């Protein structure tokens, strides 16, 4: 009788652990893991640090960019975050 009680208890514990593992797997699929959360925070902080004041044309935040061509190729400048809808530019002092 004691052995049967232990077997039932073990089966219930295994069932409970399986449900918990499935719930954790679903949470991981929806929210991501520890590394994904850290990456999201790190990208948000980097984006915030790179923002200047708002665009004078549309009011959207400006972002630090690098010129790819023309006479200013390779130089950094502030460009509107809504590019290509807005072409607001500002030189970096």
Residue 64 lies in a domain: yes
Question: Which pTM value belongs to this model?
Answer: 0.45
Strand order in the sheet with 61-66: 51-54, 61-66, 76-80, 89-91
Residue 63 lies in a domain: yes
E strand spans, the chain: 51-54, 61-66, 76-80, 89-91
Domain range for 80 is 53-93
- Average pLDDT value for residue range 58-65: 86
Q: What is the pLDDT of residue 44?
A: 78
Residue 10 lies in a domain: no
Number of domains in the chain: 1
Q: What is the pLDDT of residue 52?
A: 66
């Amino acid at each position: 009788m004691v052995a049967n009680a232990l077997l039932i208890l073990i089966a219930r514990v295994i069932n409970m652990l399986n449900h918990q593992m499935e719930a954790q797997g679903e949470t991981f699929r929806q929210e991501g893991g520890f590394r994904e959360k850290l990456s999201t925070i790190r990208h948000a902080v980097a984006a915030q640090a790179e923002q200047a004041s708002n665009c004078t044309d549309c009011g959207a935040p400006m972002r630090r960019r690098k010129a790819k061509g023309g006479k200013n190729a390779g130089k950094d400048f502030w460009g509107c975050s809504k590019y290509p809808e807005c072409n607001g530019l500002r030189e970096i002092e």
